[in-house]
Amino acid sequence: SLDWERRFDHMQQHSGQHLISAIAEQMFGFKTTSWELGRQRSVIELDTPLVTAEQVEDLEKSVNEKIRDRVPVTVRELAADDPEIETVKSRGLPDDHVGPVRVVDIKGIDSNLCCGTHVSNLSDLQVIKLLGVEKGKKNKTNLVFLAGNRVLKSIEQSHSTEKALTSLLKNGPGEHVEAVKRLQSSVKLLQKNNLNLLRDIAVLIARDFKSKPAPKQLFVLHRKEGDSEFMNIIANEIGTEETLLFLTVGDEKEAGLFLLAGPVEAVENLGPRVAELLGGKGAGKRGRFQGKAAKMSRRGEVQALLQEFISHQNPGA
């Protein structure tokens, strides 16, 4: 059973690669050293450290002209000792090769040893779109392309994205980029203001705790919107010489961050156990142990552990 849609797609990409490689060498002397048939896009590795935007534009224009010229693509077989093989592009035959040799010809453009499937006419490629270049390995350049139905699918996907953005941003496609830039600027400003407010709140929380006539030996706090800096500000403001602090930020029942701060010996003893209870990992030094927690729902168990520790430290309390 043959998946014709998949087969025809491979034919379009493969014949497209032959055409692009041949024209790139004719126009600029760029030799193809390898290529990759990807599921969504294909890549040709060119033996050159640089391909300019103008060269990409000229190459795309030329290959599409050949498609419009409806150039035939034919397949023929030659005997392995046929002298004509010397005139055909090839990486050479394996030493153990036997039997005829298959040659794919794009009339007047390219003649190449190849065992792959191809279209019978360049018009079957419909269109080729060069998506640009990427830096390759060892002074080579990767040329990214789409051929045939992949171009149509790409346009359809881009149009769907464009419609969605038009609906979300409430403006036309030509204004999408500027609208997103404005949104990014607004988000950065809001994040900055939010961080400043969190810092202020951290200071106020710490001062409120310290202002009480008989400060407790254990301070526990969770705040969903906080971050590591928020927790460290509280620890700095309260002081950790006498008070054991257990601070957490993030989702109350899923993942988040934690900080255990206090007397050095207590933190060294309790830190790994706190991390284990929270299903996370952490590290610490000089009276602070912090890390990521996967099970924030177990904060109550940690608090019970800390209270038990304090009770043993102060049996008469």
**All domains of the chain in start order, with CATH:** 4-167 (3.30.980.10), 189-313 (3.10.310.40)
Q: Rounded to an integer, what distance in angstroms lies between the CA atom of residue 172 and that of residue 248?
A: 44
pLDDT in tens, 72-81: 999 999 988 8
Instruction: Tell me the pTM.
Output: 0.71
What six digits make up the tokens of 294? 């996967």
Q: What count of Cα atoms within 13 Å lies in the side-chain half-sphere of residue 47?
A: 8
Mean pLDDT of 136-157: 96
Mean pLDDT of 105-114: 94
Q: Are 43 and 135 in contact (CB under 8 A)?
A: no
Q: Is the pLDDT of residue 92 over 80?
A: no
Q: Residue 221's closest CA among 202, 200, 247?
A: 247
pLDDT of residue 194: 87
Q: Are 288 and 240 in contact (CB under 8 A)?
A: yes
pLDDT of residue 317: 47
pLDDT in tens, 20-36: 999 999 999 999 999 99
Q: Is the pLDDT of residue 89 over 90?
A: no
pLDDT in tens, 160-178: 999 999 999 999 999 999 9
pLDDT in tens, 174-184: 999 999 999 99
Q: Which of 102-111, 179-188, 222-231 has the weakest average pLDDT?
A: 222-231
Sign of the four-CA dihedral 258, 262, 266, 269 = positive
Instruction: Please return the burial class of 73, using the count of CB atoms within 10 Å of its CB with bins 0-12, 13-18 and 19+.
Output: buried
**Which has more confidence, 199 or 107?**
107
Q: Is the pLDDT of residue 94 over 90?
A: no
pLDDT of residue 215: 65
